[in-house]
Amino acid sequence: MGYIYIVSFGDVEDRLLLADASNVKEIFDLEVRVSTVKADIEEAYNPQRNQYHAGTILSYLSRVVYPDMVRLVALVSFDLYEEGLNFVFGEAQYGGKYAVVSTYRLYHPDERVFFERVFKETNHELGHTFGLKHCPDPYCVMSFSNSIDEVDRKSRDFCPNCRRKLDYVLSYYR
């Protein structure tokens, strides 16, 4: 059996990391470990955009390996983008082991709302690592979010169809 690792760099509160770990344990039913990583991600920074390139961060993360790791998701506090997009809430290696979620655009002064948004995006990106694609159900956590309103609309859980696919893949890790 392995673990899903939740790591952070930047100004991500320990309370958020621990809360997200509980969320992941509940939704994916796998053990979770929380850690921090030292990251030199300046190569990902684009000064013209004042943002960090998500794909470059994923490449950096792929060098972080734990022997008992099933997946790794990094929470970061800075704004992310991908080519052709103004910003991304997160990005994952489809069917791979690594994902990154930015808290930057998910912030809300109500901590409950803020944490819930982070949970949704963590679950969404981890879903991609387990081979799930975007879902047409706007309430499924796997629905594509192009705005914060779309993040707020969806659930932090998977629709029955996506849950069935996810449970099949997760059965190999339990």
Return the active site residues.
Answer: 125
Name residues whose C-beta falls within 8 Å of residue 147's C-beta, 6 or more positions apart in sequence.
none
Q: Could you give the residue ranges of the DSSP H alpha helices within 1-141? A: 14-28, 54-61, 111-129
Contact 151, 53 (CB under 8 A): no
The CA angle 13-30-16, to the nearest 5 degrees, is: 10
Q: How far apart are CA 122 and CA 124, in angstroms?
A: 5
Of 13, 5, 57, 15, the residue nearest 35 (C-alpha): 5
